[in-house]
Amino acid sequence: QKEVEQDPGPLSVPEGAIVSLNCTYSNSAFQYFMWYRQYSRKGPELLMYTYSSGNKEDGRFTAQVDKSSKYISLFIRDSQPSDSATYLCAMGGNNFNKFYFGSGTKLNVKP
């Protein structure tokens, strides 16, 4: 079983839609949860990070962590064509010497 599972998509939505991106994980010791956006041939850009459980909101983006279910989500409200990219989830913790990544979900927001 992979440490982190993420649906690769592609996910295609119309402009203005609410997008839900998800990852599941197997290791209950993860403490840090991050979402990255990666445009083609660019390095991943940190969008959101969450420590332990709970929600965090930043503009149109909301990150949720449910540690009991080992499930994390990223919601994008009022999606824009410029949101079209690959979204990667990542997680780690104090007792880990590296971070674990999902495979990335490719999102296409159609104008």
Partner 1 sequence: GAVVSQHPSRVICKSGTSVKIECRSLDFQATTMFWYRQFPKKSLMLMATSNEGSKATYEQGVEKDKFLINHASLTLSTLTVTSAHPEDSSFYICSARDYPRPDSPHEKLFFGSGTQLSVL
In the bound complex, what is the minimum distance in angstroms from residue 102's beta carbon to partner 1? 7
Residues 64-103 that bind partner 1 (CB under 8 A): 88, 90, 92, 94, 97-99, 101-103
19 binds partner 1 (CB under 8 A): no
SS3 labels along the chain: CCCEEECCCCEEEECCCCEEEEEEECCCCCCEEEEEEECCCCCCEEEEEEECCEEEEECCEEEEEECCCCEEEEEECCCCHHHCEEEEEEEECCCCCCCEECCCEEEEEEC
Q: CB of 98: closest distance to partner 1 in angstroms?
A: 6
Provide the binding-site residues for partner 1, judged by CB under 8 A: 32, 34, 36, 41-46, 49, 51, 88, 90, 92, 94, 97-99, 101-104, 106
